[in-house]
Structure 1
């Protein structure tokens, strides 16, 4: 529980989550690749898919997910006593994995990229690598002090 409410986790998840969102918004505006739309998409989540939320609320959902993912990564890093390099590497690998799992949710929405769009998938993975790198860097200084 301490990891979940630790200020380092909250700050890392908020900063990295906002940068990921900004990156995807810029990519979507410049290229038309709907990766920001996909980031905020809740069409595949039961109950939530019955509602239309304002963008700010959808972005807030994204930040909550970012917080949970960051806390889990931090807890695992503490448990296995990852050094800084392992923390960053595993953060990136986790985000690539999550990106690969989430991209197929495009089949549940007409607003997101089609599943066979290699450009959208490429931007999606680049964004998640950036996010994973940022989370790893932002957590690396204090990970072992969060016990």
Structure 2
């Protein structure tokens, strides 16, 4: 139970890092990749909470927590749960692919915006490193 709490906190901390990076990119470069963190348009059972409403922010953090806890336990049998590389590869490649979900919504950014894709993927690479580092050094 103690590990799940630490993993949850790691997900929250890394989620804040991810949000902060994409918010800075939005303010400096004008990219709307930040909006994708909170977008639930493409999930039929969830209401449209808007880009930064409390529901969208909750969605972001719930996803961060669940993905960190789940990936930690998936990597456990392989004895890779405290290695940074699997987190880096899975989250970075996964986010690069998941960017395509933007094609299912009317909101910006568009699916064919290479800069938003690069910002999104790079920010998730930092998120992935943060998750891996926190797990390696804290758990």
The TM-score with structure 2 as length reference comes to 0.89
Stretch moving more, 51-60 or 124-133 = 51-60
Q: Distance in 1 between matches of 2:127 and 2:49?
A: 26
* Partner of residue 52 from structure 1, selected from 49, 56, 59: 49
- Which sections of structure 1, spanning at least 5 residues, go unmatched? none
CA distance in 2, matches of 1:16, 1:123: 16
Report the aligned-residue RMSD: 1.9
CA 1:75–1:30 in 2, change beyond 3 Å: closer, same or farther?
same
Offset at residue 112 of structure 1 (A): 2.2
Residue 11 (structure 2) pairs with residue 16 (structure 1): no
Which aligned pairs between 1:7-86 and structure 2 lie closer than 5 A? 7-48=5-46, 50-53=47-50, 55-82=53-80, 84=82
Report the counterpart of residue 104 of structure 1 in structure 2.
100
Deviation at 1:30, TM superposition (A): 1.3
**CA distance in 2 between partners of 1:52 and 1:82 (Å):** 36
Matched, 1:125 2:128: no
Determine whether 1:94 maps to 2:81. no
TM superposition outliers: structure 1 runs of 4+ over 6 Å: none
Matched residues in 2 for 1:11 and 1:83: separation?
16
* Higher-RCO chain (CA-CA 8 Å, sequence separation at least 6): 1
Q: Matched residues in 2 for 1:26 and 1:35: separation?
A: 11
Give the C-alpha shift of residue 83 in structure 1.
Answer: 7.0
Q: TM-score, normalised by structure 1?
A: 0.84
